[in-house]
Amino acid sequence: MTCADCSSDSGLLLALNGADERLQLALGRIEDTGVAFLAAQEWTVPGSAVRFLAPGIRHMLDSLGLTANNVRRIACVTGPGSFTGLRMSLALAQGLAAGTGAELAGLNHLELLAAEAARMLEQGSGAVASLVWSRRGQVYAQAFTHGQGQAVAAAPPQVLALTALPEFFATLPKPLRLLGGGLRRNLPFFEELAGRDASLRLLPTTWDAPRPATLLDLASRAGYGLQALEPVYLRASDAEDNLAAIAAGRGLSEADAQAILDRGSRPV
């Protein structure tokens, strides 16, 4: 398949989302009025993003008769979410940018999840809370309201224990719609909570992941530059939290293991 209008002087925008179980790629043509949607691919491959990222991008470009050199902007979800998925997608985005000169922008995973639902709210008609799985008994959370046709953050992104969520929800506009993988993987907890609080609305599974068109739309409104993208983790990794035990199992002191981590996390 070829596309005579796929390339232009302005080039292409590539958007990547590896922050959750569903890996997403979206490609658009940059125009004076915004970005025109061209193609997208999705896979539900938790923990296996590295096998699909580069081949998926190449397949999209090849199908349209294009190359990586046509890409002028790359947007990548920086978190919070899967540590492995974030590292893989950010590494690919930055490597591709280094090779092509494309500009980079980071996207908030929680905003991406809530963007479409928040736009459907009427002004002043409550809020949407994105909930992303962090670890057992814990979620990443952020709430958004509707403003000027897009999602507006009502609170900063946080990592919260499930037991802290009622207090967090109490500070937000009502009714409050809940969505995302953090809701789905803790559904009994949220069903019980909603049974006690009629202002909480649990959205169905169709809202657990954004549409590729929403990913591309958010990417089209991002600010781009040549700066490196930093992941947004919000919490220490499981390896960092268990560093002493892991180090002991490898015959290292905790200080030596921390030094190795520090060296590996320095920017290139």
Q: How confident is the model at residue 258 (pLDDT cuts 50, 70, 90)?
A: low
| In a shared domain, residues 147 and 200 | yes
Indicate whether 264 belongs to any domain. Answer: no
At residue 267, the pLDDT reads 47
- 10 Å Cβ neighbour count for 105? 22
Helix extents (H) in 65-202: 83-100, 109-119, 165-170, 181-184, 187-196
Q: Which tops the pLDDT comparison, 264 or 216?
A: 216
Task: Tell me the pTM.
Answer: 0.88
| In a shared domain, residues 155 and 223 | no
Indicate whether 134 belongs to any domain. Answer: yes
Q: Compute the distance between CA of residue 122 and CA of residue 129 in angstroms, rounded to an integer.
A: 16
| In a shared domain, residues 100 and 127 | no
- Spatial contact of 104 and 97, defined as CB atoms under 8 Å apart: yes
User: For residue 123, what are the domain limits?
Assistant: 110-207
Q: Which residues pair with 107 in a beta bridge?
A: 77
Look at residue 180 and give its three-state secondary structure. coil
What is the bridge-based pairing of β-strands 22-31 and 34-44? antiparallel
At residue 46, the pLDDT reads 82
| In a shared domain, residues 48 and 179 | no
Indicate whether 265 belongs to any domain. Answer: no
CATH number at 114 reads 3.30.420.40
| In a shared domain, residues 172 and 122 | yes
Tens of pLDDT along 61-113? 999 999 999 999 999 999 999 999 999 999 999 999 999 999 999 999 999 99
| In a shared domain, residues 51 and 131 | no
Q: How many domains does the chain have?
A: 2
